[in-house]
Structure 1
């Protein structure tokens, strides 16, 4: 794409092809927002500080980032504790 933004159709075509190759259901959520959310959670899980992740995401306030990305279910917390 020679440094140009990826066209909407091209992006969704890549996602659809990737989902098919991975044998994922059509109902599996895979979109830019889901990838962004997954990346943010991974960065936080790997110990990157909240202020840095917030800046990378373009948020003006780390408190917003914390409200959105620092929520964990009890099962997730239990798994994280026992797998360390």
Structure 2
């Protein structure tokens, strides 16, 4: 048993739910982490398994991702212009 305080558990659950909603929303919200890494996982179900990516890099399951447009879009958005307009699929 992890004897954590109720407020600690509540804050952790809130953060986990927000990140999950952001990853599955299909939108890249300003000042939020990019969902591109997770979107690529749903596009190619044998890529990008981990949350932070270092194990994917170690096991080679993110090689195609780093060569894709998704990787270039994977950054915190600091404007209201969508990342897919800043870095389009067709260039």
**Larger relative contact order (Cα-Cα within 8 Å, sequence gap ≥ 6):** 2
